[in-house]
Amino acid sequence: MLLSTGLAGCAFRLRRRKTDERGFFLIEAMMLSFLLLGCAASVLVYQALAQNRASMEAEITAEYLAQEQLALIESKPESYLRAHNEIPWLGEGGAPVEKNRTIYEISSSVAPYAESAALAEAEVRIRWQASGKSRETVRRKLVTYHE
């Protein structure tokens, strides 16, 4: 009798452990799925941030190139500015300009300012491709004629 009671108690305990393990496995599976969802979400966020950084980097570079071209136009003498309506890229290197693996097309023009004969209006237009889209920025500045 002692032997059979012992065996029955042992069998009961084994069944009980299997039941506990099934519930514990469900919790493990749910935790693993939440962990995988978190990893996937962080990868998507990282990818979006990398694209945003590249786009902003290209836009800031375009702004600096526009400022450089306007400064170089401003430094040209009156004879040069009056002789040219369209001005090529005046910075180092040839056109188009390649910076940070992005190609920038720069076009500049100078026109007499209607309200004053001593001023000219310089316009710099920069185009580039970023994230599969064509982007463009235009900067204008009044410059004085000088020799």
Rounded Cα distance, 97 and 79, in Å: 26
Question: Is pLDDT larger for residue 141 or for residue 2?
Answer: 141
- 45-57 average pLDDT score: 91
Query: Does 60 have pLDDT greater than 80?
Result: yes
> So what's the pLDDT on residue 76?
93
Contact partners, residue 121, CB within 8 Å, separation at least 6: 110, 111, 112, 113, 140, 141, 142, 143
More confident residue, 132 or 113: 113
Give pLDDT, residue 88.
Answer: 92
**Confidence band, pLDDT 50/70/90 cuts, at residue 135:** very high
pLDDT reading at 62 higher than 50: yes
pLDDT tens by residue, 66-117: 999 999 999 999 999 999 999 999 988 888 899 888 999 999 999 999 999 8
Q: List the chain domain ranges.
A: 2-144
Per-residue pLDDT tens digits for 5-44: 555 555 545 555 555 555 568 888 899 999 999 999 999 9
Q: Please give the Cα distance from 141 to 83 (Å, whole number).
A: 18
Task: Give the torsion sign (CA, 7, 11, 14, 16).
Answer: negative
90 contacts 75 by C-beta, under 8 angstroms? no
Higher pLDDT pick, 114 / 1: 114
Q: Is 124 helix (H, G, I), strand (E, B) or coil?
A: strand
**The two three-digit tokens of residue 41, written as one number:** 């979400």
Using CA atoms, how far apart are residues 77 and 144, in angstroms rounded to an integer? 9
Phi-psi region of 101 (alpha: psi -120 to 50; beta: other; left: phi over 0): left
